[in-house]
Amino acid sequence: MDTTPRAKPAARTIFVKGLLNTILGAIHIVGAFTFEASNIAGQGTPELRRDYLVWFFGVGVFILFTGIVDLLCAKELESGSRLAWRTSFASSAFVAFLGACGVSLYGISPPLQLLLTGIVGLVVLAASQKGFTAR
């Protein structure tokens, strides 16, 4: 399939977004059992610590999932696929929303990456919208 001029920069941006968020998701998952578990050791009840770590792990799985979705969509975006555009747009919206919630609750540590990559994804995809077809 031919690459459309507007689709190529969008595909590259979504690929980088996917790579960054896949790495962040993997760190989040590993962190649930290492540094985050040690950060909350001795705080609250054992059930509360367990529930918090399950939540922390689940957020990591979601971040990893959206990163993998972006990586899988990047090639199809380059070819101008409308379905890949819609999927990447939804992924960017969810990541931006999760990042905004995280920044408002926890400050600008890792949630800021989600907020920024989500917003950049939305902006680039919106700017390139006319480069995608019904394929």
What are the tens digits of pLDDT across the range 41-65? 888 888 998 898 999 999 999 999 9
Collect all residues with Cβ–Cβ distance below 8 Å to 30 and sequence separation of at least 6.
none
Q: Quick one: pLDDT at residue 131?
A: 62
What are the tens digits of pLDDT across the range 88-132? 999 999 999 999 999 999 888 778 999 999 999 999 999 988 767
Distances (CA, A) of 52 to 31, 37, 79, 105: 12, 9, 42, 15
* Domains of the chain by residue range: 7-127
What are the tens digits of pLDDT across the range 1-45? 445 677 889 999 999 999 999 999 999 999 998 988 888 888 888
